[in-house]
Structure 1
């Protein structure tokens, strides 16, 4: 067995005979170092065949420690504290590595990735600055720097992009070349029947235009059908077959309306439009269906597009033989949604399109990403008027808001949904009932997408699950009159039986609490152990002092982590404190002296205690908390499951998300609403919203600072928003920075902290 590193320490090993390691007195520090440091060769053992159940074991294989092949990143900057005990390689980086590290990250990326020469009509992705310091991270499309305790020092988001206005697109159309045919018949009856037949027939995807004429000055009469809008490739055989049983005696074709090629016509129109502004993109439609050809011109500015439409709509182009070209706005809005969400709402989107089609031209097209790693489907809402696009987009956004899962008045939520097993449960439940369940981890809500009946079934199942989970969670308050040593001894017994994951101690609350996950019997047993430990005859001092205990969990230490303020932790407990701490406990502070120390842990100490992945998780949570508690400065992209951040502004600049390419109004936070002001858009999307009606009936209000919905059921008129931490006066909804300011205001302005009649 490996040697126990605590047996020879000052305080000794607290496990005694139960320790899994060898208790021998080491001769010198070199032996202690070798006992702590893992060897380069790690043997793996198997039981011998002759004695399959006995203790005799022989080495099966040995392999070198793979970490010794990796350079220690702290040694290279002179900050490694492990010395010879470090498992990573301690030697200077090679010249090749130094040369590579001296090249900036972005320069290496530019060198390794060839640039495409193709143009794109999509808005270019905003490129956020890259992190180059150890305390900086690229999060949410921004450069975020962190300070002591993992607290956010600064956020440098990608600048709000000056997105191309959707009304810069101009739709161009013109008639393809056509010819006229004259069909001669022997009688007026044959002529009339053939004309009726031809008028109800399409040849080469063209609807025919028919006129009849009779020359009564000849005997017999000459009866003709003149057929227009014929494709230039139409033949006599096609026309005769289209006449049915009344075949013409002869068919005569006229000349084509023009002979210019499609390429020449496109170049002529592009030159014409370019005389009124810069045409950045010109796209010819490849479709040959129908009698019209189409193209799209994208101008640099909306003013240039408007000038071209005003001057050239209906212009007779010489290359078309004097035929007209038709120009109109092609207004387009783009919305990105999760591909897995699209199938659940596709029927509702089709209904939106159908409702607008009866009034004006409007199309909603979907473009799933061809890249499997890209989880978004882009919707294009296209019309010839900005007003129609704005209204349709408001209707689409309303669908995308989904139905928030509620159990009566309360939102259905549990911390389990933040974990991997909770996410797996939501996915399975949604697939079972054909409902997409979107977990918004930032707002702690579940949004349901699908038909109303299935949503109700899922909502009921979620409510039952949350109720069941609440029954299995117990918070046990510790009696403040009982000596702490007694609580420590009792808690150690609870942990030994139930485990650290089932029983968690919180020393920062008042009173201190134990959160226990288990059965009611487990909770009753734990309470009994605490009561036994509080008896006057219990001698807990000697029991506790024989152990080297952790400042967090009061249990014995297996791997020591000491803070600069001198408090000792079990490293696993310190890591769990960093990973499971609530938003209110960032920055990370020392919980020594029964939670009274509160010294902020430096960023360097966090780096030393946590792995890179663990530190990144802590910093991501700190960043999320900072964004949520500063809604007036930063907001998340409104696209579901998109974590990009933009900076709020009063001028309503357009921010284009670098992940999902959604354009966002930085003033109101809505997906860019071309053709509507912020107030008009809000009115359009909330005009008949059921949740808005519910808020009016139940006196639920939005926080003036962050917009989160709050409902007050009873008690004092001082409200603290759980989302942004603002202190509010419920009477007049004024915002204050501290609770004392709020109480002072209520006393001076309203005369009481409570509503009139409260408590009668």
Structure 2
């Protein structure tokens, strides 16, 4: 394949071919109903394609148009009507082409989002998260389905493409060169004179291989260059994102004058319109009051002026909304501000937005509404697309066929979402309401959704056009939802082992909740209490909790069970201990080995230990069964569940017990249910975790914890950046020398042997041998390879191409490669090269 042939594969040349030639592009005029050139047309008049309904006997049919078989379906009905999408089609229902936004009853029904859904018509969570610089796909049971790192991707930029190029044509073009690339990996930005495309593929060698192929095809106008491959963003949960845009434009409106003979009737009608009781075409309108005519001979001297009336309203539509007894003597209708079809405007705006990227959902601007402006909403899959669309389309004139000059306004919307238990939201809502006026002053809107029952959840959303204002509102909301950690006057956590179990002390804690109208959440993982509610009530609770913890002499004791002892406990032994010691006893069937927990004095512990050792059975019989849904006992601790949660496999847990076992260490590869004496083992679906865990914050912590454990289990696949506290990861390349430059701290590391600074051009074995051989061997090896050390941080560097200005990968110092002198800015280095060495290149 030559370079020129590659170019033509994207855009076939439109030169004439003799009739009957092999492959020809279809004739668009023939497809629309007729072609005046007939057989002389260089394009195809295929009878299998769109054919007009007229026969050749009609004198209006151009020469060359073939008759359509009577039983053949009209394939044009599958093609959108070009004129309809532009604004109007004169043929109406007689048009053989498709009017996609219209049905027999007029414009398509408006898709009204569910008010209880925080993301109307949106996709469910894809469970992709960005952790440590990696894009992680989670599956049920917290299984790690896929992990992608920036080094797994490569990208190219293709320029000088034909103006009508699309992702499909670019995909076909690359396929012709031997590269199979899906359309979703290709982006063609709109509005370019010389069309360009960005291609991003999960293949680290893709860009290099494509450039090599193009290097062997000289003479083409198309240019290809390797570029950085940005990572896509993960979930939007609890971070500020910008994927949504709000679109608005002026409605078609008119003014209507109602003339009455009686002032009394005019006043009644005007009051009804002002109150919204009377609507025109289902839309509320504005009324400017009742005015009297200055003409003495006017038979209808009282006038009610209505504004913001729908542009397609007729006299009949106006009169229909007013009762017969209050009908005006005369109705005068002004000209509409502009004439256009709302369904068409919606279709054009949606289509234009789609040019900037894939949409997750779109909400039409309703035909009937209030106010002067029609308002539509869209959500993009990628954040960059939303921002770009907002900048490019704000002020764009919608190309309506009717000729109406309708200007589009587009705003990028920043948003953040939270999820908390209904209990927590119920006591913090009043505190949140005190902040809402300050948020509204910055045009940040707060909306709660899905509050259901005491054990349900509330999804909260913040939205606004000002990113900084949304970030500040998010921080203040996070502070409220994080609660207050219970600490004493010395700043120590208020905690006693009795708080962790459903004991008598815990009952007093619950009474304190009810008395003060707050929520106290037990964090068993960290042995802390978190208080939620009005600050003054939480402060009052701290005194009571500190006193309660001081009074309680209990200590937590554990009794590890052997296999026979565990069997004894399940067959009634645990119930016997509860009869003996009351609620001081708890089970833990998730630990290895299984444990019985005693929260009490040393005397209680010794009594329990002796009972377990003797394996005494309880005096009462029969033995009660393990916890079931009907018993409302927790699957883990075997006591009445506190704030119970129910798994899809119908097993009940205390909310805190479920959270604790979810974060258990060592982390299992798959999270499974421990119901039915740890025999259930059902994989817990990800969709259920959002309801089983108290908040989205804890869910995100759990996902991060699961991935961290996965990385630890696979040290031969993933490693962390060697810089302390740097969270970035890199992929291990066995004994192959590759260099990972951390995007966070800029530290360079060999991906094979993990040597600091890397060692380009030298194998890991060779580098190790040089280190073992001492400094002289290392320096000799560096000299042979052309490797030098940075004069400031000592990072080893190699220059393979380009000018003699280099930048250290470790400390980002600007260096003259010829003499080794260092500079703070690139300009200073270039000036030095010019003045000292006569130029920036060495010839």
TM range (shorter): 0.3 to 0.5
TM-score normalized by structure 2?
Answer: 0.37
TM-score of the superposed pair, with normalisation by structure 1: 0.41
